[in-house]
Amino acid sequence: MTTTLISTRLSSVVSRAPVIERDDGAFVISAGMLADVFGLSVDEVRTSMREARITSSSEIGVGEDAGRWRLTFHYRDRACRFIVDGDGRVLSRATFSIRAGVASRKGCTSF
């Protein structure tokens, strides 16, 4: 199993292009992008990340999904999932409700 890290650069700049940056193999998402998704301010995202109230996981694609990553962010009873390619281009984005307890799961697996 290959481990892929998610890093969060807590900047307030949100690119108009749906791209999640890569930095030395890690994915870097702006705090502004997560703020938009979860209806928070950038400062609330920063605080929530530091206090582990926003958590994340990454999954590396295998088989027909090779070359893609699934990045999932959890906050309270909500989640947002980005499917990105190797250049960080967002191929799809979904937000959905989650059950209690699911948000605490972290890790890296394959899909």
Q: How far is CA 28 from CA 20, 24, 77, 99, in A?
A: 6, 10, 23, 26
- DSSP summary character for residue 3: -
Total domain count, the chain: 1
Structural domain that includes position 85: 6-110
Q: Looking at the domain assignment, is residue 12 inside a domain? A: yes
Q: Looking at the domain assignment, is residue 72 inside a domain? A: yes
Taking only the tens place, the pLDDT of each residue in 24-80 is: 888 999 999 999 999 999 999 999 999 999 999 999 999 999 999 999 999 999 999
Q: Looking at the domain assignment, is residue 1 inside a domain? A: no
Would you call 21 exposed, middle or buried from its count of C-beta atoms within 10 A (0-12, 13-18, 19+)?
middle
Mean pLDDT in residue range 89-110: 72
* pTM of this structure: 0.73
Q: Looking at the domain assignment, is residue 27 inside a domain? A: yes
The pLDDT assigned to 64 comes to 95
Q: Looking at the domain assignment, is residue 103 inside a domain? A: yes
The Cα 33–Cα 47 span in angstroms is 15
- Interstrand relation of 107-110 and 78-85 (parallel, antiparallel or unpaired): unpaired
Q: Looking at the domain assignment, is residue 81 inside a domain? A: yes
Say yes or no to pLDDT of 17 above 80.
no
